[in-house]
A = this chain, B = another copy of it.
């Protein structure tokens, strides 16, 4: 990649709506990749931002689906859906655990872009991590700056 300098940065902003099937990881790498390609910015930085407090973002291995299952199982284990543990229980047994899982993972991710693609590693994918039991539509804001 080397060291390169580029003048007069531009920016672009967009929105993705992602359907989640309930708890677990939904990969969005291709959708973000396609959006980046359409912006005509070859070198820059993209920020992926989720506008929710009961679903979050992760960059994780996207090769073996068992990784996604183990991740979901792990977070269920360290953040039990046991209403006796929490005072905020009015929105259901999965709501307060969802907020805690968001605190432990990410709401915003910034990824450099080079040659019109995110510089993700070979095994890296971007995922929406849904923490509520029921399906949801999640809003993701994309912000790209570069040249």
Contact = CB atoms under 8 A, between A and B. Distances in A.
B145 A53 contact: no
A145 B64 CA distance: 35
A112 B106 CA distance: 15
Give the copy number: 3
Contacts of A13: 1, 3-4, 6, 43, 112, 114
A121 B52 contact: yes
Contacts of A60: 53, 99, 102-103
Most chain B Cβ neighbours within 10 Å, of A12, A70, A142: A70
B49 A53 contact: no
Interface of A: 1-15, 38-40, 43-45, 47, 49-53, 58-61, 64, 66-67, 69-71, 74-75, 78-79, 86-88, 90, 96, 99-100, 102-112, 114, 119-124, 139, 141-143, 145-147
A61 B99 contact: yes
B4 A51 contact: no
Contact of A108 (B71, B87, B110, B147): B110
A103 B146 CA distance: 27
A39 B88 CA distance: 37
